[in-house]
Amino acid sequence: MKALVAVVILVTVSVFTGCGDSATEIVGTLPVVTGITVDTLASHGDTIVVTWTAMDSTLVDGYFLWKRHGVEGPWSLVTVCDNNAGVHVARRSVFYTVMAFKDDDTSSGVGLSANTKTVLLSEIRELFALRPVGFRIDVAGDSIIAGDPESPEFAQQFVVAVNANGVRYIYPGTFNQENWPGGARTRISRGSGFVAPAPDDSVLWKDSVSYDEAFFLAMEDGHYCLLSGTHTFPDTVSLTDTLVINGQIQPITGVRVFNEL
């Protein structure tokens, strides 16, 4: 019976999904759902688990889980849930909210939203005179730190260096341990879309990627980054220019979805 009610409600809600802020256009009399949160232990990869405070099962038939890309704009329906948890396979980081329903009645408003919020990393600008430059992510400080990859004390997570043809590439931390001995065990991939490759992907994680493009960084502590590398025009005398790197880190360990850079 509950499944049948859910189908009926879903058909009703679908009328609203094509226009406007559909979730907020549905006005009922049931209480607003509280305690909406992304379950950071259950969420993994591109699979996001959202939970909320359960209501008395005699008062509600179920819940609508909604998503939207930013703090404003229209909501779209993810799924109908029988209990106080829902799963969404995400193509990027989004906000989630929930409404309860009973027969054809719904919550009087949407609950306070939660999301898989990515954190911006402070831009770093570092002189580049064809010598390799190492970088690592300061998770606590949301920043990028530069250093000499030839120093055993500098635990770089990626290195910008030129190859034999004089072309800039980005290498993971342990790529060249003989010359870059302090490197951390990381993986890199070209930035395509807003979901980093799966940990066991044998194709997308690379030994190196071209500079001047977005790239994913998988860190050994389970965090992921989506970064962008550009550079200034070189000085005509010294041939020195400036590496410019910025991006974002996903603070939920093991979650691989990001916002637009």
Q: What is the pLDDT along the chain (261 residues), one digit of tens a residue?
A: 444 444 544 544 554 444 446 676 777 999 999 999 999 999 999 999 999 999 999 899 999 999 998 888 899 999 999 999 999 999 999 999 999 999 999 999 999 999 998 999 999 999 999 899 999 999 998 999 999 999 999 999 999 999 988 899 999 999 999 999 999 999 999 998 999 999 999 999 999 999 988 999 999 999 999 999 999 887 666 678 999 999 999 999 999 999 876
100 and 142 belong to one structural domain: no
DSSP for 86-124, please give it: EEEE-SS--EEEEEEEETTEEBSSPPPPEE---EEEEEE
Q: Which of 81, 96, 115 is the last residue of a domain?
A: 115
pLDDT at residue 237 in the model: 65
pLDDT attached to residue 11: 47
With respect to residue 80, please indicate whether it lies within any of the assigned structural domains: yes
Contact 122, 144 (CB under 8 A): yes
**Same-domain status, 133 and 97:** no
- State whether 134 and 91 are in the same domain: no
Is 75 inside a domain boundary? Answer: yes
Q: The domain spanning residue 53 has which CATH number?
A: 2.60.40.10
Three-state SS at 57: coil
Q: Is residue 255 part of a domain?
A: no
CA distance 86 to 75: 16
Contact 118, 251 (CB under 8 A): yes
DSSP secondary structure code for residue 13 in this structure: H
* Residues 75 and 168 occupy one common structural domain: no
Tell whether 136 and 205 lie within a shared domain.
yes
Give a yes or no: residue 166 inside a domain. Answer: yes
In angstroms, how far is CA 238 from the centroid of its own chain?
39
Are 137 and 125 part of one and the same domain? Answer: yes
In a domain, 260, yes or no: no
Q: 33 and 133 share a domain?
A: no
Q: Write out the DSSP string of 135-190.
A: EEEETTTTEEEEE-TTSTT---SEEEEE-TTS-EEEEETTTTTTTSTT----EEEE
Last residue of a domain, one of 82, 115, 148: 115
pTM of the shown model: 0.86
Q: What is the pLDDT of residue 78?
A: 97
- Whether residues 51 and 170 share a domain: the answer is no
Query: Do 140 and 180 fall within a single domain?
Result: yes
Q: Are residues 85 and 130 in the same domain?
A: no
Task: Look at residue 152 and tell me if it is in a domain.
Answer: yes
14/102 same-domain check: yes
Q: Which domain holds residue 138?
A: 119-250
Q: Within this chain, do residues 20 and 62 fall inside the same structural domain, yes or no?
A: yes
User: Within a 10 A sphere around the Cβ of 241, how many other Cβ atoms?
Assistant: 15
> Of 63, 82, 115, which closes a domain?
115
Residue 258 lies in a domain: no
Q: How many domains would you assign to the chain?
A: 2
Residue 259 lies in a domain: no
- Give the pLDDT confidence score for residue 233 in this predicted structure: 85
How high is the pLDDT of residue 261?
65
